[in-house]
Amino acid sequence: QQQVKQSPQSLIVQKGGIPIINCAYENTAFDYFPWYQQFPGKGPALLIAIRPDVSEKKEGRFTISFNKSAKQFSLHIMDSQPGDSATYFCAAKDQTGANNLFFGTGTRLTVIP
Amino acid sequence: GAGVSQSPRYKVAKRGQDVALRCDPISGHVSLFWYQQALGQGPEFLTYFQNEAQLDKSGLPSDRFFAERPEGSVSTLKIQRTQQEDSAVYLCASSPEEDYQETQYFGPGTRLLVL
């Protein structure tokens, strides 16, 4: 079963808009939550990550909001640009269990100029 | 510095053929992962190496899939008797950490098409 649920599947925004991508999980052992950006023909690249001891993390135009009690986290892209058009994946990792990342199904973002 | 590289970038195989996919991780990275990414989906874990030891192969879908990393650097994922459902992008990732492996650096992937 899908350990990390991601929505929406696709998203179209105008340049300057603030796309928001949401993820939810059930496994309370997860304690590391990264977001990856993937361009066509490329591998995923780490964008930003958060641990559950903070509710928000900001790096440049990218912000993660984390709600531990709801087991949800989201990515916000401020002042989105056409170059941000890509597929975004949320992921989760259990530091004490499996070594691998569990990925969401991805959100295809298109930023219209 | 060089990132993770994978070869070939594209592979077309006839059903029943064997294929071998290569991963060159970032030099010095202890941990190496293989993931399978179906079209329109997120990567799914296949197997994990720490140096030359394969510590987790729970994600390998069948005994037709085999991975090795004999000298603790380059890794090869082999698929025997390929089936159409094996068509996917195979991603390799490496990490410098022995524990936690949080920062995983991905290669560009090998796109496998089985006809």
Quick one: pLDDT band at residue B1, thresholds 50, 70, 90? low
The mean per-residue pLDDT over the stretch B92-106 comes to 82
Is residue B90 within 8 Å of B110, Cβ to Cβ? yes
Percent of chain B residues topping a pLDDT of 90: 89
Residue found under tokens 């000298």: B71
- Residue B89's CB is within 10 A of a number of other CB atoms, namely 21
Residue found under tokens 């989105």: A80
Where would I find the H helices in chain B? none
Is residue A35 within 8 Å of A75, Cβ to Cβ? yes
Nearest to B108 among A42, A46, A91 (CB): A42
Where would I find the H helices in chain A? none
- What is the least distance, in Å, from the CA of A16 to any CA of chain B? 26
A-chain CB neighbours of B41 within 8 Å are: 105-106
Torsion of CA A3, A8, A13, A18, to 10 degrees: -50
Nearest to B43 among A41, A44, A98 (CB): A44
Rounded Cα distance between B50 and B28, Å, is 11
CB contact under 8 Å between A99 and B55, yes or no, is yes
Residue predicted with more confidence, B74 or A29: B74
The mean per-residue pLDDT over the stretch A31-56 comes to 93
